[in-house]
Amino acid sequence: MFAAAQRYIQGPRIINDVGHYLSLLETTRVGLMASKRGHNVIGIEISSSLNKAGITSIPLTFGGECSLSEINSQVDAMLGQDISCLIATGGGKLIDAGRAIAFRLNIPVVIIPTIASTDAPCSALSAIYSETGALNNIEFYPQHPAIVILDTDIIVGAGERYLVSGMGDAMATWYEARVCLKNPRTITACGGRPTLASCAISEICAQTLYKYGEAAAATVRECRNDEAVEHIIEANTLLSGLGFENGGLALAHALGNSYPEIQIVHQNFMHGEMVSMGLMAQLCMEKSDDLEKVASFFARVGLPIHLGQILLSTKEQNILDVLIEAALEKPIAHNMLMPVTHESLRKAILNAHNFGLDICKKIGDTAYRRLHK
C-alpha cells in the first residue's frame, strides 16, 4: 500500500502564492490556525495572498499543545462559521492538531510548516498529547493533507538546529524501511506491507542527506538558501515522510519516541535528535556496516551520538530502564529482524554510546557544541 498528500509544493517565497494554490480546492472561506506569534509574522502574508484570490480567512490561535481539549476547543470555535478548509501553519504539534481538527470537521487540511525538523507534514496521522506534554496516543486518518506548502526561505529563517534535527529523523527512514521490507510481519502506518517504491524513496532520502547535509547546514548557518538547502528540505519533509509512512518504522523510532519519557531529554531535545540516538542503537543491534558512516555524518552536522550529548549517563540505570521498557512496549520495536529484549536493547544502547564516544574522539564535537550552546 502507498499513500501520499495530494500536492506537495516547495520553493522560496511561495508563501505569496498560497491563495493561488488554495483556489485549486474551490474554497472561499478558510480557517487559518497559527500561534499568536505566527499570526503576526507568516499569518499576515498568508491572509494577504488569500485575500487577493478572493478567499476569506478566519484566524484561529493555537494554544500550544496538541491535546484533546485543545482540538475540541478549536473544533467548537470553527462550528457554524461556514469554514470549508483549514490551513495549519507552524511547527509539529500545531500541524498535528490541524489534521485532527480537520478530520473532526470533515474538511480538507492544508499544511504550511515553518520548520523542517521532522517528516510529519505530509502524513495522515497525529500524535496526541496530554495537557502536560506526555504522548497519549497516535490518531490515524483516512485522508492525507490536500496540499503541503513549504516556503524554503521561511525554513531557512528558522535556523540550523531545526534543519539538522530533521536530518536525524530523515536518516532513520532508510535504515528502518529496509528492515521492514525484509520482515514479512511488518505492517506500515498506512495499514499495508511496505512497497518497493517507498524503500526506493527512503534510500534516495539517505543518499541526499549524505551528499548535501553538511553543505545545507553551513548555508542555513549563514541565513542563505541554495540548491543544497532545497534538497535537504525535500529529503527531511517529502522523501522521509513518504518513506516512513509507506515503508515502516523500527527500533530507531521506538527509542526516539521513548526518550521523551525522560524529562530532561524531553525538555532539551528535538524529535530528530532523539531519533538519531535511536538509530545508533538500532544499527548496533543489527551490527550494521553503516554504523560508522551514520555516526560520522551525525557528528559532522551536530546530532547527538552518545548519552552524554542528551544529558544522560550510563550510571543512571533506572533511567535507562524507563527508556528500555517504554521502547519495548511499542510494536514497531519488534519489526526488527531479531528478538528485541530488555537485555539486548540495553546492550545496543550502551554499545552505541561507546561507539559514539569513539567517533567524537576521531571527528570532534564542534558541530554539536555549536547547536547546543
pLDDT in tens, 84-137: 999 999 999 999 999 999 999 999 999 999 999 999 999 999 999 888 777 788
| Bridge partners, 135 (sequence order) | 129
C-alpha cell at 256: 526516539
How far is 187 from 180, CA to CA, in rounded Å? Answer: 8
How far is 287 from 342, CA to CA, in rounded Å? Answer: 18
How far is 247 from 252, CA to CA, in rounded Å? Answer: 14
H helix and E strand count, the chain: 17, 8
C-alpha cell at 313: 549517563
The DSSP call for residue 305 is -
Residue linked to cell 536525524? 168
3-state secondary structure string across 138-199 = EEECCCCCCEEEEEHHHHHHHCHHHHHHHHHHHHHHHHHHHHHHHCCCCCCCCCCCCCHHHH
Domain ranges of the chain: 7-155, 160-371
Task: State the architecture of 7-155 in CATH terms.
Answer: 3-Layer(aba) Sandwich (3.40)
Question: Cβ of 347: how many Cβ atoms within 10 Å?
Answer: 14
| Bridge partners, 360 (sequence order) | none
Give, to the nearest 10 degrees, the angle between helix 317-328 and helix 342-363. Answer: 120
Q: What is the mean pLDDT of the chain?
A: 96
Question: Cβ of 283: how many Cβ atoms within 10 Å?
Answer: 25
Give CB contacts under 8 A, 24+ apart, made by 363-372.
363/296, 363/299, 363/300, 364/299, 365/299, 365/309, 367/217, 367/299, 367/300, 367/301, 367/302, 368/299, 368/302, 368/303, 368/304, 368/309, 370/302, 371/160, 371/161, 371/164, 371/302, 372/302, 372/309
Question: Cβ of 131: how many Cβ atoms within 10 Å?
Answer: 12
How far is 21 from 313, CA to CA, in rounded Å? Answer: 49
Residue linked to cell 554510546? 353
State residue 131's pLDDT score: 83
Amino acid at the residue 248? G
For residues 163 and 233, is the Cβ–Cβ distance under 8 A? yes
Q: What is the pLDDT along the chain (373 residues), one digit of tens a residue?
A: 999 999 999 999 999 999 999 999 989 999 999 999 999 999 999 999 999 999 999 999 999 999 999 999 999 999 989 999 999 999 999 999 999 999 999 999 999 999 999 999 999 999 998 887 777 889 999 999 999 999 999 999 999 999 999 999 999 999 999 999 999 999 999 999 999 999 999 999 999 999 999 999 999 999 999 999 999 999 999 999 999 999 999 999 999 999 999 999 999 999 999 999 999 999 999 999 999 999 999 999 999 999 999 999 999 999 999 999 999 999 999 999 999 999 999 999 999 999 999 999 999 999 999 999 8
Tally of CA atoms within 13 A in the half-sphere of 341 that contains its CB: 4
318 burial level (CB within 10 Å; 0-12, 13-18, 19+): exposed
List strand residue ranges (DSSP E) for the chain, in order: 7-11, 29-34, 56-61, 85-90, 109-113, 125-129, 135-140, 147-151
For residues 310 and 304, is the Cβ–Cβ distance under 8 A? yes
DSSP 338-366: S---HHHHHHHHHHHHHHHHHHHHHH-SH
State residue 326's pLDDT score: 95
State residue 102's pLDDT score: 97
Residue among 51, 250, 27, 327 at smallest CA distance from 147: 27
Strands 125-129 and 135-140 turn out to be antiparallel
Homologous superfamily of domain range 160-371: Dehydroquinate synthase-like - alpha domain (1.20.1090.10)
